[in-house]
């Protein structure tokens, strides 16, 4: 990503996306590109489009069998036939939730996720969290790192979230409300 003004991501001999590196990272054409770019790679969480307070949202299953409804920062430009989507969130867009952070990031959505693994790496700490049947990875500042076994109040920055169609695995564009 650092050596080119434009990059092509290929899979099985076909170009999946050709664009500026940051555009490929921020708005991947499909789930293959999203998973290929970045380390740790993008987290994928199955969900369903719904409404919350008359605004677009995505409902996801939690590890305790409950459902979290996360407001979308933008309106999906297309809706899959059955309303099912895959929510894509990069590890750096997961935070330890606080009211102060919510004031700085208005699109921050809250849910609670059990911490299964904590991996200090020096400048940052990676944590494996359980969301529904999925494990997701978050990057945390060492001072805000979760502890093993903690029920982490997790903030997801929905302003950076991506939606994908689970059938085609294609990116679903979103537009301002």
For the chain, give every domain's residue range.
Answer: 1-38, 44-175
Closest CA to 89 of 122, 54, 150, 42: 42
Q: What is the CA radius of gyration of the chain?
A: 16
Question: What value does the mean pLDDT take over residues 29-38?
Answer: 96
49-to-46, 69, 94, 167 alpha-carbon distances in Å: 10, 9, 20, 15
pLDDT for res 50: 95
pLDDT for res 63: 82
Q: Which tens digit of pLDDT belongs to each residue from 89-141?
A: 999 999 999 999 999 999 999 999 999 999 999 999 999 999 999 999 999 99
Q: What secondary structure letter does DSSP report for 159?
A: G
Closest CA to 166 of 85, 77, 52: 85
Q: Which tens digit of pLDDT belongs to each residue from 50-92?
A: 999 989 999 999 988 899 999 999 998 888 878 999 999 999 9
pLDDT for res 80: 84
The answer to whether the beta carbons of residues 9 and 15 sit under 8 Å apart is: yes
The answer to whether the beta carbons of residues 158 and 84 sit under 8 Å apart is: no
The number of CA neighbours under 13 Å toward the Cβ of 112 is: 6
Whether the model pTM is above 0.85: yes
């Amino acid at each position: 990503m650092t050596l080119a003004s434009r990059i092509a991501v290929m899979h099985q001999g076909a170009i999946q996306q050709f664009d500026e590196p940051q555009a490929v990272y921020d708005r991947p054409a499909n789930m293959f590109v999203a998973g290929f770019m970045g380390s740790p790679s993008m987290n994928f969480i199955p969900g369903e489009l719904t409404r919350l307070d008359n605004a677009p949202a995505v409902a996801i299953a939690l590890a305790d069998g409950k459902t979290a409804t996360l407001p979308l920062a933008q309106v999906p430009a297309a809706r899959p036939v059955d309303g099912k989507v895959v929510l894509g969130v990069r590890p750096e867009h997961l935070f330890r939730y606080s009211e102060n952070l919510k004031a700085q990031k208005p699109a921050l959505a809250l849910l609670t996720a059990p911490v299964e693994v904590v991996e200090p790496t020096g400048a940052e700490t990676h944590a494996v969290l359980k969301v529904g049947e999925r494990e997701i990875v978050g990057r945390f500042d060492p001072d805000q790192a979760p502890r093993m076994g903690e029920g982490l109040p997790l903030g997801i920055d929905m302003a950076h979230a991506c939606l994908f169609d689970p059938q085609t695995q294609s990116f679903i564009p979103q537009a301002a409300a």
